Amino acid sequence: MDAFEELLEPRGPLMLALSQTGKVVRNNLNTFLRNPGEDGLTLRGIRSYMAVSIQGEDLKGVLLLGNTRGAAFAEREVALLEKVAEVLDSLVALPLDQESMRGRIRVLEEMCRAQEEKVRIKTDLINMASHEVRHPLTLIMGFSEVLRDYGDLLNARESVEVVGKLHKAADRLRRSVVNMMEVSRLESGKLALSVEEVDLVGMISGLIDELKARSSEYVMDMEVEPGVERIYADPDKLEVILFNLMDNAAKYSPPGSRIDVFVKRSRGEILLGVKDHGQGISEENLNLIFQPFRQGEGGKGVSAKGMGLGLYIVNRLVEAHGGRIEVRSEHGKGSTFIARIPQPESAKENQDSESDALQA
């Protein structure tokens, strides 16, 4: 470590930030460089840098990252560089053949891509949220001002219409906030399930009523196989799954079309399906629809709105239940989304008994 310490040893005042693993973060180069203004770093406009040692059995080198801002590196940046250094440590510690080296490099590249994707999602979420929150808030403010200033002048029909629009805007805001909170939990790794018995029929009926209240342009039918009226799942997460599937079907269906919601049982799993009769999904878009901030193309008479988070959240929440989601679609003929939710063995036995009793 002498060489490492000598390389970084300053002359004059110095401020250091050390992590628990001993990695070094230094800021404000002009306060400690041997020859301020003449050093190669400052000549390139570098004002802050972070250095970590690369070691096998002994010091092999130093990985140095610099930038043109003088502020301290963020904790996530320190953590990422330390992860990179750990991989590099392992690369130099063992004799590796060429193929093993490629494998280690691929792992390193995947780590970097994963970190970049998290940053991108957070940035996109903030940008999209600003619009999704601003629009319904503007409507809420506008309609509430109408009631405040002209409520006494409105007749009963007009009052009901204004209150209905106010409620619709508030509901849109609530759903946007719920989706943003779910994304935040998913990306932070803090998602926790609280599984219990759920009245599935009651939940679906309530969601159908909610969607019909928002728009009466669609015909929604529900078909539940006998014996699966109640299932085991996290009720809050299950409601998010079902609502987003049903809301997605409404977004991409022409007014007046039918949306079918069905529930079936298959080999220890509950199949929650939503079928629309809209424009369908092209083959090239099938692999993209579960990515965040992706939206399908609107068809004739269809105006897709939202953040493009619904199906991403659905997929992640279904996976959190140990299940998977399937899509069957033909462009121009509609789509069917099926969420497969595994059930405990005890639940399957109870459902079998109930089904036998119904058939008897």
Given this model, what pLDDT does residue 234 score? 93
What integer best gives the mean pLDDT of the chain? Answer: 73
Give me the percent of the chain exceeding a pLDDT of 70: 63
pLDDT band at 356 (very low <50, low <70, confident <90, very high): very low
pLDDT band at 354 (very low <50, low <70, confident <90, very high): very low
Query: 333 or 66, which is more confident?
Result: 333
Tens digits of residue pLDDT in 93-129: 655 566 666 777 788 778 777 777 777 666 666 666 6
pLDDT band at 160 (very low <50, low <70, confident <90, very high): confident
The structure's pTM equals: 0.56
Tens digits of residue pLDDT in 282-310: 877 887 888 766 655 544 444 445 556 78
Is the pLDDT at 1 greater than 50, yes or no?
Answer: no
Given this model, what pLDDT does residue 335 score? 93
Tens digits of residue pLDDT in 7-36: 344 433 333 333 344 454 444 444 444 444
Is the pLDDT at 325 greater than 80, yes or no?
Answer: yes
- Mean pLDDT, to the nearest integer, of 85-89? 72
Q: What domains lie within the chain, and their CATH numbers?
A: 2-94 (no CATH), 116-188 (1.10.287.130), 196-359 (3.30.565.10)
What the block records as the tokens of 127 is: 């940008």
Tens digits of residue pLDDT in 31-58: 444 444 445 555 566 667 777 766 655 6
- Mean pLDDT, to the nearest integer, of 342-346? 78
Q: For residue 130, give Cα distances in angstroms to 33, 177, 296.
A: 43, 11, 21
pLDDT band at 269 (very low <50, low <70, confident <90, very high): very high
Is the pLDDT at 198 greater than 60, yes or no?
Answer: yes
- Mean pLDDT, to the nearest integer, of 173-184? 76
Most confident range (mean pLDDT) of 84-93, 211-220, 300-309 is 211-220
